[in-house]
Structure 1
Amino acid sequence: MSRDPYYILGVKRDATQKDIQSAFRKLAKKHHPDLNPGDGPAEERFKEISTAYELLSDEQKRARFDRGEIDMSGAEQAPRNYYRDYASASGPGDPYHNSAGFADFGETEDPFSAFFSRRTHDGQFRSKGQDRYFSMEVDFLDAVNGAKTQVRLPDGTALDVQIPAGTRDGQTLRLSSKGEPGFGGGPPGDGFVEVHVRPHRFFERDGNDIRLDLPISLSEAVLGAKIRAPTPTGPVTLTVPSHSNSGKILRLKGKGVPTRGGGRGDLFVTLKIVLPDNPDPRLTAFMKEWSEANRQDPRKSMGMAP
């Protein structure tokens, strides 16, 4: 197992904290034990990347690691000898001597001041706990309208999760302070829940709009009708115009997905003409008589010969 946290997270040594956090989240989602039950190697990999992130996310620990003072686990390393140790001269005449002490590292900043400021009054280090990552499935309508549900933790306990209205498939929700406990009295980490939305049997999301194929009878298409149609917030009465073709789209304004501005998208209803399950001899006889008197070529615009 590599002991280089940069290699483990797949980042360069000059990576920013944002790059490090992004790399960790990507790997944590892939190797989290909740998503790989019974997979020992994945669990070990998750522990390894968590250890690497714990070190690199702490700027002081990262700096000490880069200087070779500690290893990836935080254990002290044997001190390194630098060119100052081998200088033959000493005192004010020493070419490596600086009367300003640590001032040669920077005129206004003590390189160890930030390091010691991370200690508590009793000398213990204080750091934020690690974040935790979860995955959960929710029903289509719960994602659209919002709902309160629970996610089951590895230890068997349940965590309440508020699903905001308009949640998208694959969206990650942040649960403040629901991560691992902090170290040395530090604040806990956060919880991150990746939401997977189950498909609905007749609704389909399209951005903030919703699309619906609505079956209608032949008589409703020809004569027109007022029918009940489902929407994410409950059924409504829909007017089908007379002589409606299969494929005609009706728009129900404000019956789609809630938006951040307080509005909602629209529901687009596509009419689908459905013939009776059992053939009706009277309908068949009527259509024969009608078709002989009314020659129609619905595919004329496609250049298809009758």
Structure 2
Amino acid sequence: MSAREWIGKDFYRELGVSSDATADEIKKAYRKLAKENHPDANAGNAEAEKKFKAVSEAYGVLSDASKRKEYDEARRLFGSGGPGGFGFPGGGGGSGGFDVGDIFGQAGQQQGGFGGLGDILGGLFGRRGAAAGATANRPQRGADVETDVRIDFTEAVKGATLPLRLSSPATCSTCGGNGAKPGTSPRTCSTCQGSGLVSRSQGAFAFSEPCRDCRGRGTIIDDPCPECAGEGVSTRTRTLTVRIPPGVADDQRIRLAGQGEPGRGGAQPGDLYVRVHVAPHKVFGRQDLDLTITVPVSFAELALGGTITVPTLEGKVSLKVPQGTASGRVLRVRGKGIAKRDGSQGDLLVTLQASIPSTMDDKAREALVAYAEAMSGHDPRPEITELLEGR
């Protein structure tokens, strides 16, 4: 992308956020728009695919602190707005501005040192002067990509291996990423001698600007690849295998190194981050590495004690209930929680909850009345009684 095109895009507007949005706000906006416009969810919808590429490009710049700083500096330098109509503080003319096309729209290569605004722009767009021997097509690491997967509770506890189908930009398989039709190769631009930059003088300033003939790439493709149209990158669908580690938490991200967008100019690709969403279990809960469960028990089991059977994710265990146990007490079963690969192990926390029958037969009622009479001298709430009696 040329400098003029880069400045002309309003990446904040693409994501629907303000220019002072935080990194979390930018990430949240991107995830929402990427999910809404993902090619997998909008098969054959050209507008959705276009929007998906636009928000991905915007996120690639605004999610990178250094790229965002450079982009913001460019916007402050030229003002915001469409390409070709940027205001410049202190510029001449009745409108107080000038057309950025005056800087980027000329292809003539003139002699003169690089300096002034040219040096600023060279820094903003990852380019240095031709005198330094660098090229405009500096290698650039690919952008990181994020996607979501949903797993059930048991898979989160024990781990799982899942296939992940992605439609994303990737190095063109037809041309290998060089943008030229198979059997041909890009040629060095004769205008800029492969540097991607040309220089010109204007008054007291000397400017370095992207070469118009090669669009700042340093090479020219005479016969573009039919698949990627010379870009070296195409959208393709691929299937990856994602290994979910045991004990993964809800909303945790798993990093797949090198599986993001391809790099430019031979640079490393970005990473793929898989955000995991865990469905709740109908019986078990979770506290870090401990599993939790609430087990209803009868009054007799709490008062007299006994042994109850409790389910686990692997089967069942027997649990001793001490005599006189209060409802709500938590008993611990060692080693029946979540086991992680690093050797850490959680427990099963069992909360005992008294179960009160909604109906009972005559025999049960008579027994309960007899018990109440036998316990008439026992006050189960002495503190409350003291308050009621004013003591």
| TM-score range for the pair, normalised by the shorter chain length | 0.5 to 0.7
Say what the alpha-carbon RMSD is for the aligned residues.
4.5
Q: Tell me how far 1:297 sits from its aligned partner.
A: 3.6
| Aligned twin of 1:80 | 103
AA partner of residue 293 (structure 2):
L
Deviation of 1:24 (Å): 5.0
**Residue pair 2:140, 2:267 contacting (<8 A) in 1 also:** yes
Match of 1:128 among 137, 141, 147: 141
Question: What is the one-letter code of the residue matched to 2:270?
Answer: G
Deviates further, 246-255 or 170-179: 246-255
Shift of 1:213: 0.6
One-letter identity of the residue aligned with 1:138: I
Matches within 5 A, 1:92-241: 111-112=128-129, 117=134, 126-154=139-167, 158-241=239-322
Who is 1:299 aligned against? 381
Answer whether contact 1:127 1:186 (CA < 8 A) is retained. yes
Contact 1:118–1:126 (Cα < 8 Å) also in 2: no
Q: Note if contact 2:37-2:52 (Cα within 8 Å) is conserved in structure 1.
A: no
Aligned to 1:91: none
1:71-94 CA distance string (max 9 Å, x none): 999xxx74539xxxxxxxxxxxxx
CA distance in 1, matches of 2:164, 2:308: 39
Distance 1:118 1:142, change over 3 A: farther
2:39 corresponds to 1:33: no
The percentage of aligned residue pairs carrying the same residue is 33
Contact 1:224 1:242 in 2 (8 A): yes
Displacement of 1:250 in angstroms is 0.9
Provide the rounded CA distance (Å) in 2 between the counterparts of 1:249 and 1:268.
6
The worse-fitting range, judged by mean Cα deviation, of 155-164 and 194-203 is 155-164
Deviations 1:128-178 (A, max 9, x none): 333332112111222223222233435775432111222221112211222
Report if aligned partners of 1:230, 1:236 keep a CA contact under 8 Å in 2. yes
Give the Cα–Cα distance (whole angstroms) in 2 for the partners of residues 275 and 60 of structure 1.
62
TM-score, reference length from structure 1: 0.67
Residue 31 (structure 1) shift = 0.9
Whether the 8 Å contact between 2:251 and 2:277 is mirrored in structure 1 is yes
Structure 1 counterpart of 2:27, which letter?
Answer: R
Change beyond 3 A, Cα 1:23–1:282: closer
SS at match of 1:189: coil
Flag the 1:262–1:274 CA change in 2: closer, same or farther, 3 A: same
Contact between 2:159 and 2:248, CA under 8 Å: does it hold in 1?
A: yes
**1:6-36 per-position Cα deviation (integer Å, ceiling 9, x unaligned):** 66565769x9xxx77x665333212113677
| AA aligned opposite 1:190 | D
Structure 2 CA distance, aligned partners of 1:234 and 1:115? 69
- Deviation of residue 45 (structure 1)? 4.6
CA gap of 1:112–1:258, structure 2 versus 1, over 3 A, is farther
4+ residue runs of structure 1 moved beyond 6 angstroms?
39-42, 103-106, 113-116
* Paired residues for 1:280-295 under 5 Å: 280-295=361-376
Alignment of 1:251-262 (within 5 A): 251-258=332-339, 262=343
Identify if the C-alpha distance between structure 1 residues 125 and 103 changes in structure 2 by more than 3 Å, giving closer, same or farther: closer
Q: Does 1:5 align with 2:11?
A: yes
Q: Which moved more, 1:52-61 or 1:289-298?
A: 52-61
> How far off its partner does 1:117 sit?
4.9
d(CA) in 2 for partners of 1:305, 1:61: 68
Matched position secondary structure for 1:166:
coil
For 2:383 and 2:50, the matched residues in 1 are separated by: 64
Query: Shift of residue 201 of structure 1?
Result: 1.0
Asked if 2 retains the 8 angstrom alpha-carbon contact of 1:31 and 1:42, the reply is no
Q: Name the CA shift for 1:301/1:142 in 2 (closer, same or farther; >3 Å).
A: farther
Question: Residue type matched to 1:80 in 2?
Answer: I
**Larger deviation: 236-245 or 182-191?**
182-191
Which protein, 1 or 2, shows the higher relative CO under an 8 Å CA cutoff with sep ≥ 6? 2
Q: CA 1:184–1:115 in 2, change beyond 3 Å: closer, same or farther?
A: farther
Change (3 A) 1:147 1:188: same
Q: CA deviation at 1:52?
A: 2.9
Superimposed CA distance per residue, residues 234-287 of structure 1 (whole angstroms, 9 cap, x where no aligned partner):
422211112323212212234334468632333321112225687343222111
Whether the 8 Å CA contact 2:37–2:51 is kept in 1: the answer is no
Map 1:50-89 → 2, pairs under 5 A = 50-54=56-60, 57=64, 62=70, 66=74, 78=101, 80=103
Letter in 2 for 1:209: D
TM-score for both structures, normalised by structure 2: 0.55
Q: What is the CA–CA distance in structure 1 between the aligned matches of 2:132 and 2:365, rounded to whole Å?
A: 88
Secondary structure in structure 1 of the residue aligned to 2:148: strand
